[in-house]
Structure 1
Amino acid sequence: MNTTKLLILLCVISIQAIFAQKNNVNGNSQIVKGSPLVSPQIQVIPIKDSINNRQYELYIELPEDYSDNTNKTYPVLYYTDAVWHREILSACQEYILEDVILVGISWQLDINEDLKKERGAHVSRFRDYSISKHSNPEIQAKYQMGQAKTHLGFIRDNIIKYVENTYRSDPNSLTYFGYSLSGEFGAYILMTQPDTFNNYIIGSPTIKDEVDYLSKLNAEFGPFETSNRNSSLNANVFISYGSLEKEIEPIDTFVKLLKDRRDGGLAVLKEVIDGTHGTAFPTTAIRSATWLSSIISPISSDNYDVSFWDMAHLNNAFVTTTPEDRKDGILVDTLAVNTKDRNAILTLSQEIFEGTHGSYDAVLVSHKNKLVFESYYKKGRINVPHGQASAVKAYTSLVLGRAIQMGYLSMEDLNKPLISFLKNIDPKKFAKGAEKITLHKALTMQGGLTIDRDAWKDIENDSVRLKGQGLVQTLLEQSEPITSESQTYLYGNFNPMLVMMVIDAVVPGTAEDFIRKELLDKLGITNYKWSTHISGIPEAGWRASIMSRDMIKLGNLVLNKGKLNGEQLISVDYLDKATSGIVKPTQDWMPKDYRYGYFWYQTLVQVGDNSYDASFAWGGGGQRVIVIEELDLTIVISGHDSEDKIMTPISEIIIPSFVTQ
């Protein structure tokens, strides 16, 4: 959002805040009658509850380009308490949610006039939005509270059907917005009929007395099971409350209830807004609108920053066979495969979105150094870095290759004792055989360290002892003797940290600066996160995030034998060895035909009678940068899948499509 739009919207907020969430009407107010303000953008549609014969109104506001794009469908935001919420949500549509249809739902119009005079035009909300009957019989008789189920039926059977039949709405992108009592109503919808909406904005819900009932509904729904998609609530949920509110504990309990489901289809974000129950409303509207914009578009707004696990799922897959030139250093082209293969790839994309193959967030394909296919699902976004898990090991290997290319190390140094590069260590206390650990051994997971796990738990957070090369000192003190028998393949993060320590020791400045200046900056990778180990040097085996498009850059660098724009960034000799199959991994979970180089994997992909050599970075959850030199192909996968079975459809559908190209 640009500065001008933000200033205008803040003005709207300040005005709206005065009127936010009034539950009572001052009957002594002097009202000067005049001509009502009519907004040409809003259509007021009368609508009747077909079961209870109650009269309401809908406030329909269409996007500016609605009439111009007759083949386009639009997300719909349904909001309750329409009179109170209409102005600020209309402003959000103007400046944040430009492609969204707004549907405001009024209070009942033809309700008892005495009740209207006593409590105001909003009196029906006490009945329609509340979950339970009131404990006081007199109040209950008067307001008929606890009819959330009835009102939900009206919304599902009358309102949503009317909108779907009248407007070009996107059935996969329906959002509910409710605040205070209507926030309670939103919680009820989520826990009883979650398929009503795809996204739920629940602001400061009045659920103090409803937590037990909501917990009961959750139990009736049952726990989430990975093998059963129907066990998921399948919703994105934004829940907020004001920092000065009195009843926040019930809301926190409800949030915990949702998160404890460990539900693969449920994404929950909690926001604490500065202010009271009333004054927190305007900011809630803005924050939630920004959150929603990140769900209906694969490009997140600049000011949307949440952790990966709080990231909501996209309502629709974003799939393109003609990727956009985003001026990010990536050349683009059109997917040029035959019709059958193209349709198979598109079908696979839909299957990935539906979760058929697990939980994956992006698949990108670059052919002949041009991006020709780009797709995002679930938590994937074009402009948001994605966690890389152990794929970071492969990137660390490229950093070492860069150091060799620049002359800070040589290929011969790979077979020298690793400790010979470290000047701030004392070998007197080292385990016997410490000199047997070379860069080659560490890079192939054959360092041979044997550390007692329980003993290491008492040490691993000691930032003083492990500072700098103290990490290596401690590892070599704690290890059992390093022998030929111990120097066999053993996957883990100790070996990568040994390699990173050498990089830090031999390059000018720090390893952190070297990674940034000599690799990432040269590739135009600027939007990333690379965590620091407790030792003070960059993590070498995990805890880094980069964008999926930037993973393509790293893959193409390998495809081009370490050369970028005519400059040799990575040593050719090193890269050839790094991406070859040097050792055979021994873990049971590792496919039998996989081999391991210098933190890179190697395997053969069979297509018909032919096989193709594939090198790839691999991180848990499905992070892969796959390079097939013979096909001039780079494939990137981002995901958060525990079983990580995506390689099968990639090998059977995508890779064969390029065999004849």
Structure 2
Amino acid sequence: MNSIKLLILIFAISLQAAFAQENSVNGNSQVVKGSSLELPLIQVIPIKDTKNDRQYELFIKLPEGYSENSNIQYPVIYYTDAMWHVEILSASTEYMLEDVILVGISWQKDINEDLKNEVGAHVSRFRDYSFRKSNKPEIQTKFQLGQADKHLNFIRDDVITYVDNTYRTDSNSRTYFGYSMGGEFGAYILLSQPDTFNNYILGSPSIKNEVPYLSELNSTFGPFDASNRNSSLNANVFISYGSLEQEMVKPIEEFIGVLKDRRDDGLSVQKEVIDGNHGTAFPMTAVRSVAWLSSLMSHVSANSKQVSFWSIPNLNNPYVSTAPEDRKDGISVDTLSVNSDDRNAILNLSQEIFEGKHGSYDALLIAHKNKLVFESYYKKGRINLPHGQASAVKAYTSLVLGRAIQMGYLSMEDLNKPLVSFLKDVDPKKFTKGAEKITLHKALTMHGGLNIDSDEWKEIEKDSVRLKGQGLVQTLLEQSGPITSASQTYLYGNFNPMLVMTVIDAVVPGTAKDFIKRELLDKIGITNYKWSDHISGLPEAGWRANIMSRDMLKLGNLVLNKGKVNGEQLISAAYLAKAASGIVKPTQDWMPKDYRYGYFWYQTPINVGDKSYDTAFAWGGGGQRVIVIEELDLTIVISGHDGEDKIMTQIAEIVIPAFVKQ
């Protein structure tokens, strides 16, 4: 629906522009007397800058159902240059973001009349939006430049306070919209008092000579530190410029670089290049920025296609449901049925996740007895967008192998045979000594024993022809030192998973890529995903895949149900039992002491009271987890992008105990 409205709005803007151009060409520019246009939904409210004794006006537009929906708190868009922007923003939000309060901030009303007559009613914007004084005395005397700090205080202390006290506003969803000098002012707000707004729309900001000062502000604010939430700008930023604004490109790109160089987890930056010059790019800037804004106010993305994860803006508010929606995607739903204390504890945990108290996580889903009973999204989480999986892909690769075993292309006995015995396009004569010691079992438990100089391998990786297909294994076994009992110890990495993927590709009909799609993903209804290719041309086996959180749940339920889907034995039950068991002990220092490793799946006991529950889980860096506890009939999914990734503690202490009491 939103996309249809957007097309209608774009058509209207194009028609308006064409009509204006035709009148100009025909010389049809005379003014016809008549009644002036009135916008009855917009209230004009006088307001005073109490510290500087200046009079302004606010253009307030409330959502259509504001008076009827007395229990709703609404997002607010604040915009400067109110007289210029009121119509386009009113129209854009009407079509794409209906439930929002618009607050336009006028220019100063009681400014010197002579100056107003000379320059125009907008003259105060030169003073209010600029953050540095002019080095030309006559200009400075006339316009009193560099008072952005005072105008910002007026907005924070008077405007926002008035709006919040008068209307039902959502304090987690404040947006600033500014164009040209208004965009310059927005950049100043972002780097001086970023908590003023949650979202910043900076259209063609006039920062040609201001990047050094903005960089200084950024330095003053300080670098981002993941362990200190207050070090983040905590903002979504939309920055645009016109394709014909040649003088604007370099400074704006430099400013974007300043923001991205922060590597700020709480900062999302979206750049758009709009067709046109500084003037003609404005209407489409308004339309596209409002469309972008709508994407961070809903857990359902308007763009369900693959997009860059880091370009996804952070949600202003979490989406939390104890009665998930039936999306007709093959997932059964139900209501969270735990006692009130446990329910409140899970809801409280959700709020804490949103606030970043446990790290940067994007989704938490809980399924009980094969039914989704709790669903939540935070930060970059969206219900219909695939999320990066990192090393959780290893566990999914293990399931692919289990499917090949179920279909008879491999057997359980084959797990202990030399891995190279399944490869017909390799030359064993060139292998390092002991290559036959590498079995599927060894590779699946990270005990392959390959030992390759990392610097040499970086050079080898540049030769994609050499590594094509089974050439990858050929090269690995030529390049490695001897495979011995001493070398076949636990070593985490992506060589072992790629050995397994090469075998899958060799034994299944067609290609491994087609097999993954046809025999695993299609079978359980996973269609919106991305599974990248390795340099060998084979599917990645250890990382670089993206799937939706709900689809992660499908994979977890597949393990919970011992490989069955809709009555069909999809994965070998015997293989799954081994894959999800604790076969070996990982040796990394950072790994919890009670974690064990199966076939690319982890296993650990979770203690609740005096009882222990075996827990199997896929685990990917940043916080991707598919957790399965068969005894509790429980599947839990977590998506995230957190460096420390410690959310498992809260899952073990809050979520899992809630279902022990069932």
* Aligned-pair CA distance for 1:465: 1.0
The aligned counterpart of 2:377 is 376
| Alpha-carbon spacing, 1:4–1:294, altered in 2? closer, same or farther (3 Å) | closer
Q: Are the equivalent residues in 2 in contact too, given 1:337–1:657 (CA < 8 A)? A: yes
| Alpha-carbon spacing, 1:358–1:530, altered in 2? closer, same or farther (3 Å) | same
Q: After the TM superposition, which of the residue ranges 644-653 and 427-436 deviates more from structure 2?
A: 427-436
Q: Are the equivalent residues in 2 in contact too, given 1:240–1:284 (CA < 8 A)? A: yes
Distance 1:250 1:222 in 2: 21
The aligned counterpart of 1:598 is 599
Q: Are the equivalent residues in 2 in contact too, given 1:12–1:88 (CA < 8 A)? A: no
Distance 2:647 2:55 in 1: 52
Distance 2:522 2:282 in 1: 42
* Aligned-pair CA distance for 1:18: 8.3
The aligned counterpart of 2:189 is 189
| 2:325 is the alignment partner of 1:327 | no
Aligned residue-pair number: 654
SS at match of 1:414: helix
Distance 1:4 1:88 in 2: 18
Q: Are the equivalent residues in 1 in contact too, given 2:304–2:384 (CA < 8 A)? A: no
* Aligned-pair CA distance for 1:171: 0.4
Q: Are the equivalent residues in 2 in contact too, given 1:178–1:202 (CA < 8 A)? A: yes
Cα-to-partner distance string for 1:492-515 (whole Å, 9 max, x where unaligned): 000101111111111111111111
Equivalent residue runs for 1:150-169 within 5 Å: 150-169=150-169
* Aligned-pair CA distance for 1:241: 1.5
The aligned counterpart of 1:86 is 86
* Aligned-pair CA distance for 1:373: 0.8
SS at match of 1:487: coil
Equivalent residue runs for 1:81-480 within 5 Å: 81-245=81-245, 246-302=247-303, 306-480=307-481
SS at match of 1:342: helix
Counterpart amino acid of 2:512?
A
Q: After the TM superposition, which of the residue ranges 602-611 and 117-126 deviates more from structure 2?
A: 117-126
Counterpart amino acid of 2:507?
V
Cα-to-partner distance string for 1:154-209 (whole Å, 9 max, x where unaligned): 11111111111111110011000111110000001111111110111111111122
Distance 2:62 2:571 in 1: 53
Q: Are the equivalent residues in 2 in contact too, given 1:291–1:304 (CA < 8 A)? A: no
Distance 1:147 1:483 in 2: 73
The aligned counterpart of 2:538 is 537
Q: Are the equivalent residues in 2 in contact too, given 1:43–1:59 (CA < 8 A)? A: yes
| Alpha-carbon spacing, 1:46–1:355, altered in 2? closer, same or farther (3 Å) | same
Aligned-residue identity in percent: 78
Counterpart amino acid of 1:94?
E
Counterpart amino acid of 1:526?
T
Q: Are the equivalent residues in 2 in contact too, given 1:12–1:91 (CA < 8 A)? A: no
| Alpha-carbon spacing, 1:165–1:35, altered in 2? closer, same or farther (3 Å) | same
Q: Are the equivalent residues in 1 in contact too, given 2:2–2:95 (CA < 8 A)? A: no
Equivalent residue runs for 1:57-68 within 5 Å: 57-68=57-68
SS at match of 1:248: helix
* Aligned-pair CA distance for 1:30: 5.4
| Alpha-carbon spacing, 1:370–1:241, altered in 2? closer, same or farther (3 Å) | same
* Aligned-pair CA distance for 1:468: 1.2
| Alpha-carbon spacing, 1:454–1:269, altered in 2? closer, same or farther (3 Å) | same
Q: After the TM superposition, which of the residue ranges 64-73 and 466-475 deviates more from structure 2?
A: 64-73
SS at match of 2:296: helix
SS at match of 1:247: helix
Distance 2:506 2:305 in 1: 37
Counterpart amino acid of 1:114?
D
Distance 1:344 1:437 in 2: 47
| Alpha-carbon spacing, 1:208–1:304, altered in 2? closer, same or farther (3 Å) | farther
Q: After the TM superposition, which of the residue ranges 80-89 and 547-556 deviates more from structure 2?
A: 80-89
* Aligned-pair CA distance for 1:409: 1.2
The aligned counterpart of 1:578 is 579
Distance 2:312 2:68 in 1: 32
The aligned counterpart of 2:658 is 657
The aligned counterpart of 2:25 is none
Structure 1 segments, 4+ long, off by >4 Å, are 15-20
SS at match of 2:158: helix
* Aligned-pair CA distance for 1:15: 5.6
Cα-to-partner distance string for 1:92-128 (whole Å, 9 max, x where unaligned): 2122212211111122233333333333322221121
Distance 2:381 2:614 in 1: 28
SS at match of 1:278: coil
* Aligned-pair CA distance for 1:483: 1.2
* Aligned-pair CA distance for 1:567: 0.8
TM-score normalised according to structure 1 size: 0.96
- Specify every segment of 5 or more residues in structure 2 that has no aligned partner in the other structure, as ranges: 21-28
TM-score normalised according to structure 2 size: 0.96
Distance 1:17 1:220 in 2: 44
The aligned counterpart of 1:54 is 54
| Alpha-carbon spacing, 1:17–1:182, altered in 2? closer, same or farther (3 Å) | farther
| 2:7 is the alignment partner of 1:12 | no
SS at match of 1:35: coil
Query: What is the CA RMSD across the aligned residues, in angstroms?
Result: 1.8
Counterpart amino acid of 1:520?
L
Distance 2:124 2:15 in 1: 25
Counterpart amino acid of 2:261?
D
Equivalent residue runs for 1:484-563 within 5 Å: 484-563=485-564
Distance 1:184 1:171 in 2: 24
* Aligned-pair CA distance for 1:280: 2.2
* Aligned-pair CA distance for 1:476: 0.8
* Aligned-pair CA distance for 1:452: 0.7
Cα-to-partner distance string for 1:352-400 (whole Å, 9 max, x where unaligned): 1111111111111000001111111111111111110000000000111
SS at match of 2:460: coil
The aligned counterpart of 2:26 is none
Q: Are the equivalent residues in 2 in contact too, given 1:443–1:496 (CA < 8 A)? A: yes
| Alpha-carbon spacing, 1:44–1:317, altered in 2? closer, same or farther (3 Å) | same
SS at match of 2:639: strand
SS at match of 1:177: strand
* Aligned-pair CA distance for 1:604: 0.4
* Aligned-pair CA distance for 1:305: 5.9
Q: Are the equivalent residues in 2 in contact too, given 1:17–1:279 (CA < 8 A)? A: no
Distance 1:101 1:256 in 2: 32
Counterpart amino acid of 1:151?
H
* Aligned-pair CA distance for 1:41: 2.3
Distance 2:157 2:17 in 1: 33
Cα-to-partner distance string for 1:35-72 (whole Å, 9 max, x where unaligned): 11112322222222222332222222222232222101
